[in-house]
Amino acid sequence: EYIDHGSFIYKFYVLGDAIFHAVRKSTPNASVLSQSSANSGSRAIVFD
């Protein structure tokens, strides 16, 4: 299942009393992907 998530992944790590986080880029939201494919004239990949 694909869920829109703002194109970022947030990871949190706990080491003792310290908390660390990392933010990474991820797959764009579905609306961005469908708009991009429409603008380029290519078809979107559809999974059953």
What's the pTM value of the predicted model, to 2 decimals?
0.45
Task: Determine the pLDDT at residue 46.
Answer: 74
Question: 3-state SS string over the chain?
Answer: CCCCCCCEEEEEEEECCEEEEEEEECCCCHHHHHHHHHHHCCCCCCCC
Task: Determine the pLDDT at residue 42.
Answer: 72
Q: Which is more confidently placed, 48 or 25?
A: 25
In whole angstroms, give the CA distance from residue 23 to residue 14: 15
Tokens for 34?
A: 């469908």
Domains of the chain, residue spans: 1-48
pLDDT digits (tens, 9 = 90+) for 13-42: 999 999 999 999 887 777 776 777 667 777
